[in-house]
Structure 1
Amino acid sequence: MKLQLALDRMTIHEAIAIAEIVRPYVDWLEVGTSLIKEFGMESLRQFRQAFPDKFIVADIKTFDNAAYEFSLCFDYGADAATVIGAAPLVTIETCKRIAAERERLCMIDLLNAPSKQLPFLFDSPHTAVCIHISKDQQEQGGHGSFEHSIEAYTPFLSSGGPKLAVAGGITSDSLPLLQTLRPDVVIVGTGITQAVDPLAAAKALYQSVHSHS
């Protein structure tokens, strides 16, 4: 498993500073949706410049205009970009195609994805899918929704399918439940960035994630 650090709701400078502190204990860096919305592609450019050796995810959450948005992310240095699983299938297919052509990764965010689209979303061996408990759900006490998600998505999981990522309020305490899914990527944001000691939090999560790799 890999540990992905999600950086959101802060300035580019603040995000880079935190990422630099925890750099030894994160595998992937995510330029979060709010960073991209507030600062545009400049956020990706600065992250690629600051971390030339890191795998960088652009959490752009594309829903339309797929070819343009994914190409833009990759032009500015992203190794992966995200598309919403509830988007039209033609949009998702375009994202997958652009990523394949650029030899990058397309990550499909399953947030609110309709059940009828799940077979298509999981039939993508060269992509990644992300089981995601939203920020709004977390703030309304929705952490337990991961248990429902595990039940809902288990029938679609297979060794030959896409990489699996999990995200949404994950901490060291909630990690054991998620390990039953055997995810390829564990995405953590505030569990590190808002910790009293971000470096210690990142180290503990990194060691736990890699001990189950």
Structure 2
Amino acid sequence: MSGKLLQLALDIDDTAVALKAATAAADAVDIIEDGTVLCLAQGLGSARELRAVFPDKDLLTDIRIARAGGKFARMCFKAGADRVSVVGESGLDVVTSACEVAEEFGGGVEVELYDGWSDEEIHSFIEAGAQVFIVHRNRCDEAENEDVRTQLNRLHALVSDSGVKVTLAGGLNRETLRLFDGCPFDIAVVGSAITKADDPLAAAREIRDVLNSMK
């Protein structure tokens, strides 16, 4: 088994629908993501409801903080988040302030990287306290897939001795995950392939089987 974790992205604008999907798939996922769409549509009440229903699940509130890192991070942690996301373009000061608040709550910060990130930035984010780096596919074509594979290998070389994890996100399902077999990442984010499935639990288990088979 690869030991890769499965994160369920709830990018759904209705909390009841999101909760139904999460409840159905919960036994096969490791992390529940209060997705950006859900956060924007329902506010941090969605995080509170997810925490109430899943008190023992790892909960990411994916609000993609870009300014006032400490202020927004505090709101998320008070709502029950274990981790919050910050966009890498926001800069070191925003990441640092979010990490300082995360430490108060015993939580963590994930940094979503962007095209053109540098090794120096990664080192600075790690020093600030970032726990996870997110590599996100957008176009999902083969040229981008090759770039993502390169980024994953670069990141692995930079974080392998730090304990920091790497997350792969963006249009992932059973088929697209296999494009990254052999690539070093720790967490796969899957949304609609599970939440829109007729049987979310079966879909999540199938994706977990793929992850377990990966090198």
Change (3 A) 1:70 1:212: same
Is it true that 1:22 corresponds to 2:25 in the alignment?
Answer: yes
Cα root mean square deviation, aligned: 2.2
Q: Residue 184 of structure 1: CA displacement?
A: 1.3
* CA distance 1:143–1:198, shift in 2 (3 Å): farther
Contact kept in structure 2, 1:122 and 1:129, CA below 8 Å:
no
Match in the other structure for 1:129: 133
1:102 aligned to which of 96, 100, 105: 105
| Preserved contact between residue 83 and residue 106 of structure 1 (Cα < 8 Å) | yes
Residue-pair matches, total: 208
The amino acid of 2:153's aligned partner reads T
Aligned equivalents of 1:52 and 1:153: distance in 2? 31
2:59 is aligned to 56
Name 1:203's counterpart in structure 2: 205
Give the aligned partner of residue 69 of structure 1: 72
Q: Secondary structure at the match of 1:57?
A: strand
What is the correspondence of 1:170-181 to structure 2 with a 5 Å cutoff? 170-181=172-183
Query: CA separation in 1, counterparts of 2:130 and 2:87?
Result: 17
Give the TM-score normalised by the residue count of structure 2: 0.87
SS across alignment from 2:166: strand
The 1:9–1:113 alpha-carbon spacing in structure 2 relative to 1, beyond 3 Å, is farther
| Deviation at residue 153 of structure 1 after TM alignment | 4.5
Change (3 A) 1:147 1:196: farther
Q: Is the Cα–Cα contact under 8 Å of residues 111 and 133 in structure 1 kept in the other structure?
A: no
> What is the TM-score when the length of structure 1 is the normalising length?
0.88
**Residue 192 (structure 2) pairs with residue 193 (structure 1):** no
Amino acid at match of 1:180: G
The 2-side partners of 1:112 and 1:65 are apart by 23
Q: 1:168 aligns with which of 143, 167, 170?
A: 170
Distance 1:90 1:2, change over 3 A: same
The answer (yes or no) to whether the contact 1:86–1:113 under 8 Å persists in 2 is: no
**Other-structure match for 1:5:** 8
Shift of 1:122: 5.6
Structure 1: tracts of 5 or more residues without a match: none
Question: 2:146 — aligned with what?
Answer: 147
